[in-house]
């Protein structure tokens, strides 16, 4: 997509060598998200250059994302960008449409790169789920997470439930989702939701330092490691050690080729 097309849906993509930064750029509505934005995020994932090794996701201004644009819940909003529009579809069609929206989140798990959510201020609902889609979350000390869907009579459906359980466990994930309460930056670090919390004026530097560290190893090392760790909890030891062996053979050959 062109910069103009991305801007039209409230997104910005900046490429700086191996680091790509995706910015939610609707600060006037606290970076509220729309279906058009989700579709464009999926397109960014499909067309990202192969040499990108780190993806940073952030929000313009003082809020990461206030979640779903409330206009989608307004009965006067027409088309599939509204709940009314989705309800006009069959169950199968509505589910397929939501699956398209989910692709705007799932691409951030691609083993080709490490994704980092740089969060300041509120990350609510869809904003929380976007942050959860990233591999790592580095947050300002004013960050506040909330899975607000239950307060609206809805459930989280933008791929946030699985990583939330993986990070904090079933019981705490249920409590966070069912109560729609706020999780502060300090608690997020303590329970494993966030990698680190820093003062707001240090957030940019902290994420830049982390990105630089992640691109420092020889190309291929971090993707192989990410692929090994993803799903490790669901594999038995024999399967995991087989994957380790196969990965290491590829790394030995890559290192040998580089030294030749």
**Catalytically annotated residues:** 149
For residue 192, give every residue at least 6 positions away whose Cβ sits within 8 Å of its Cβ, in sequence order, or none. 167, 168
Query: Residue 173 burial by CB count (10 A; 0-12/13-18/19+): exposed, middle or buried?
Result: buried
Contacts of 86 (CB under 8 A, 6+ apart): 80, 94, 97, 98
Q: Distance (Å, rounded) from C-alpha 175 to C-alpha 178?
A: 5
Which two structure tokens, joined as six digits, stand for 193?
A: 């939701």
H or E, element range at 140? strand 136-140
- Rounded Cα–Cα distance for residues 105 and 12 (Å): 16
Place of tokens 């994420």: 207
Edge to edge, the sheet with strand 11-16 lists 11-16, 19-24, 54-59, 114-119, 136-140, 196-198
């Amino acid at each position: 997509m062109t910069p103009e097309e991305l801007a039209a849906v409230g997104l910005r993509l900046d490429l700086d060598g191996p680091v790509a930064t995706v910015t939610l750029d609707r600060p006037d509505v606290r970076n509220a998200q729309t279906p058009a934005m989700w579709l464009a995020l999926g397109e960014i994932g499909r067309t990202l250059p192969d040499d990108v090794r780190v993806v940073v996701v952030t929000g313009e201004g003082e809020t990461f994302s206030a979640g779903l644009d409330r206009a989608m819940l307004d009965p006067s909003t027409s088309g599939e960008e509204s709940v009314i529009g989705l309800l006009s579809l069959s169950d199968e069609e509505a589910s397929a449409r939501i699956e398209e929206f989910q692709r705007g989140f799932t691409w951030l798990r691609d083993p080709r790169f490490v994704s980092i959510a740089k969060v300041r201020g509120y990350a609510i609902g869809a904003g929380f789920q976007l942050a959860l889609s990233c591999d790592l979350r580095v947050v300002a000390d004013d960050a506040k997470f909330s899975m607000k869907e239950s307060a609206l009579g809805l459930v989280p459906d933008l791929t946030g439930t699985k990583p939330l359980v993986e990070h904090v466990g079933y019981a705490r994930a249920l409590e966070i989702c069912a109560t729609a309460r706020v999780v502060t930056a300090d608690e997020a670090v303590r329970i494993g939701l966030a990698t680190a919390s820093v003062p707001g004026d240090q957030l940019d530097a902290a994420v830049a330092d982390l990105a630089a560290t992640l691109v420092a190893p020889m190309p291929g090392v971090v993707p192989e490691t990410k692929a090994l760790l993803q799903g490790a909890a669901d594999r038995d030891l024999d399967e995991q050690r087989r994957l380790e062996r196969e990965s290491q053979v590829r790394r030995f050959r890559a290192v040998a080729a580089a030294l030749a």
